[in-house]
A = this chain, B = another copy of it.
């Protein structure tokens, strides 16, 4: 769809397995002082001294987690890294290393993989993490990406999913529903393109949401802000499956309930516009859409003054007593029980 057809094509067989990974990673420099051994040995070696090590891993499968029709490979590489770093930040930890393993069918050329690794490199530079390992192998169908991120934190700063208490504030970074709306636009334009390949996609007026879908960012800035403000979230999670699903994770792990106020949920005007076009309630996009990679946290009431007017953060509710449920309070003051409808659920994809 957006592919440049005039590029040089080298088959992966021409290079061979060992040379491929060497070739793809030759321009990666090691920047983190804790990286002692990077790519090229059986395992990487990381020196953590007195810090804790935090590890997160993700498996991404073509046509389940991404669609190469509208996802440029460079963006895919970038996003695959960002998604994992987001998990490290959500522990209130600093990511320092990643490993990347790929399964590839023979339809991928070396040049295509170079684009993918350009995206990975860009993410490594932006987030200051080192690529330290991984491998490539063939796949009988499509592209498979497995990424592991490793991070560091001092013992008293880790934010788990458990730890939220009654009356703690429920705070979210950024705004919600954008990545989901971006996906709706891309899927619509793909259908239009498939019906008539001469149609060019009209994407300009949806750039915010398409960017949220194709090139999301992990909230490194929020992680740093929390450190500056001397706030250690009592519980934290990143929003990959929609607000509803994530807040239920926090409530379940912390064994308490919460109230979320509909009118407090931060939603971008472009999300409202797209939802209007698609006849979706913007609230549904925020609650059940996924891939926003914002941070959702429990913060002690005593920190209210620090966060209340910060442009990165919004207080959307508070936690309630033990064994009460997670509720949405609508603008008409109705109480609705939240349910998990993670859009990436296994049953949906089959």
Which A residues form the contact surface with B (CB < 8 A)? 12-13, 16-18, 20, 36-37, 40-59, 61-65, 87-88, 90-91, 93, 97, 99, 101-106, 132-142, 144, 146, 148-151, 153, 155, 158, 160-161, 236-238, 253, 340, 342, 344-347, 349-350
Contact = CB atoms under 8 A, between A and B. Distances in A.
13 contacts: A16-B345, A16-B346, A17-B345, A20-B346, A37-B158, A42-B88, A42-B161, A43-B88, A43-B151, A47-B155, A59-B102, A64-B103, A141-B142
Contacts of A87: 42-43
Given A43-B149, A47-B53, A106-B350, 15 more contacts: A13-B347, A17-B342, A17-B347, A41-B160, A42-B88, A42-B238, A43-B56, A43-B90, A43-B93, A46-B52, A46-B53, A49-B50, A55-B55, A55-B150, A59-B101
Given A42-B237, A57-B101, A90-B42, A137 B18 contact: no
Given A55-B97, A59-B102, A64-B139, A41 B146 contact: no
Nearest to A101: B59
A45 B54 contact: yes
B58 A43 contact: no
Nearest to A44: B55
A132 B340 CA distance: 24
B64 A138 contact: yes
Nearest to A43: B56
Contacts of A45: 52-55, 91, 93, 153, 158
Contacts of A105: 350
Given A43-B87, A63-B140, A253-B40, A58 B346 contact: no
Contacts of A104: 346
Given A13-B350, A64-B103, A101-B146, A54 B43 contact: yes
B59 A103 contact: yes
Q: How many copies does the complex hold?
A: 2
Contacts of A106: 350
Nearest to A37: B160
A103 B63 CA distance: 12
B52 A346 contact: no
A63 to B, nearest CB: 5
A148 B101 CA distance: 10
Contacts of A161: 40-42
A49 to B, nearest CB: 7
A150 B56 contact: no
